[in-house]
Amino acid sequence: MKQLHERQLDLLITTEAPKMDEFSSQLLGHFTLALYCSSPARKKSELNYLRLEWGPDFQQHETGLIAADEVPVLTTSSAELARQQLSALNGCSWLPVNWANEKGGLHTVADSATLLRPLYAIWLQNSDKYSLICDLLKTDVLDEQ
């Protein structure tokens, strides 16, 4: 958001709705997250938690889905890094379902749920790039099945 304010960024794609009046936003759609690991038929209690940063709003959901005493063995903002470490750290992590299916070699944790997350486009209301932003927003960025 800071980069939008400072005009270093014209359009931000994020999972969190803007909380300031000077921003405009459009809900682009939703995507599904599932808890993945590297081996089939594993339960959460058998795995270490690898936290992928999905923003403050996600932490509210995460609290109810991960044991309160569970400390992540890894925290990252990279889905690819989390995926690469699943086997080595005997871990599990929340990953986008379509992305995980494309990557292959990943298995959903047996006793876990899925989460539906929003995806927003955010820009400054008075952006001089408004017409370009409108053109970009016509593009379907989500291909959920």
Q: Around 117, how many Cα atoms within 13 Å sit in the side-chain half-sphere?
A: 27
- Give the tens place of pLDDT for each residue, 106-141: 999 999 989 999 999 999 888 888 889 888 888 887
- Give the tens place of pLDDT for each residue, 26-59: 999 999 999 999 999 999 999 999 999 988 888 7
The number of beta carbons lying within 10 Å of the beta carbon of residue 72 is 16
Dihedral sign of CA atoms 6, 118, 59, 51 in order: negative
- Calpha distance 123→22 (Å, rounded): 9
All structural domains of the chain with their residue ranges: 2-137
| Three-class SS state of 26 | strand
| Whether CATH 3.40.190.290 fits 2-137 | yes
